Amino acid sequence: MIASNGYFDALYEACDDPWGFRNRWYERRKRLLTLALLPRERYRRAFEPGCGNGELSAQLAERCDSLLAADLNETAVHLATERVAALPQVRVERRSVPCDWPDGAFDLIVISELAYYLATAELEQLAERIKTSLTPDGTLLACHWRRPFDAAPQSAASVHALLDARCGLTRLVRHEEPDVLLDVWSHDSRSVAEQEGLA
């Protein structure tokens, strides 16, 4: 990871919500978009690496039977654990992805504001991990800030293009704004209405 744990340590030493996940409308709206773009109402087993202080985790949990949230940073793991303490279906662990990828299969993987910190080889490894651990009916959602910043060697566009090319999935949704790019992929190319037998 290009941005080492020291980079994130410094951010969390300055503030327990360095990106304003709790209070900024941009972040709250982005979470609403993320949840709205998921094609299924419920997921059996989900993985959210790079969970930060757990704000998205808490909302994802409402749609998941089981959610594994993980972060590289120890402070983030502590904050996320506190945030989801009342949600027994959520487990928070300290992990550095893609190297420390969990065992088992997931029917939802959410890569939010994470992959542009990775070097190219790590990003390729991330795509391979996703490809091998996503269930046949699984969903991949990626969400990234589109504006360049010094800590991110990859752009949102390049990250999403690599995931699109390497994960072997069909893109279901793309939501693009000047600030943010969200993509949803699945092995199941049917629309939500088609899945419900309405189309």
CATH classification at residue 11: 3.40.50.150
Closest CA to 77 of 50, 108, 97: 50
- The residues with which 197 forms a beta bridge, in sequence order, are none
Residues 117-164: pLDDT tens digits? 999 999 999 999 999 999 999 999 999 999 999 889 999 999 999 999
pTM for the predicted model, two decimal places: 0.94
Domain limits at 136? 5-195
**Which residues have C-beta within 8 Å of that of residue 155, sequence separation ≥ 6?**
116, 146, 148
Number of domains in the chain: 1
